[in-house]
Amino acid sequence: MSLKLFDLTGRRALVTGSSQGIGFALARGLAEAGAAPVLNGRDPARLNAAAEALRDEGFRVETLPFDVTDHAAARAAVDRFEAETGPIDILINNAGIQHRAPLEEFPADAFQRLLQTNVASVFNVAQACARHMIARGRGHIVNICSVQSALARPGIAPYTATKGAVANLTKGMATDWARHGLNCNGLAPGYFDTPLNAALVADPAFSDWLCRRTPAGRWGRVEELVGAAIFLSSDAASFVNGTVVYVDGGITASL
């Protein structure tokens, strides 16, 4: 009986930034739990390739290309999808970018891109989906946070600021929308071997430091985020709201 709480059969899950990396892994994991993933990205060719890869595994997949940093485009795309295809039951706000530079030299335009992609996109897509979820009296929103929601490292202060903002925006969503039947939570990855971290993975000195700093002693694998994502997207999390689940090998627990 309790396993049924994690069953996502019959639900659609929009995953932003899902052409590769964490987004793609989460879309596949939700599909394995029964959901029909809706992939999002700005590059139609990469998006279609990702969708075909999942279809080749036997999953029912849809695509919804739009720019998550464009508020009007996000709302129009979600409204059109809801009207023409059906309800979006789960939203995974995953789209994000990184830029590394000393804070005293950090380019202002790069800071603005981080704000738009990492923070504004979460507001844009969540608001667009929540309007429909509220009308139905249910829905799950999972915002991808980071260990940088709680910690900082040299050279990525603006990124840290954006991920702290996402964690607090998640609390705000829960505060406003839980009364309407929505579950709004965050999922915070530690250091995972993804395209976004390719430069760090390729740096022996950083990898050595990370493995010594992380109690688990290694980089995370994207598949290890799937269980928490399924939980937060399912009825098993029916009374979980405004929390951030850290999947980080213990890095935020240890000095």
Query: What are the residue numbers of the active site?
Result: 159
At residue 175, the 3 state secondary structure works out as helix
CB 36 within 8 A of CB 13: yes
Which residues are paired to 14 by β-bridges? 38, 91
CA distances from 177 to 64, 141, 224, 226 (A): 24, 10, 28, 24
CA gap 39, 41 in Å, rounded? 7
DSSP string, 16-51: TT-SSHHHHHHHHHHHHTT-EEEE--S-HHHHHHHH
Indicate the residue type of 46. R
Indicate the residue type of 55. R
Contacts of 189 (CB under 8 A, 6+ apart): 22, 144, 146, 147, 220, 225, 247, 248
CB 140 within 8 A of CB 232: yes
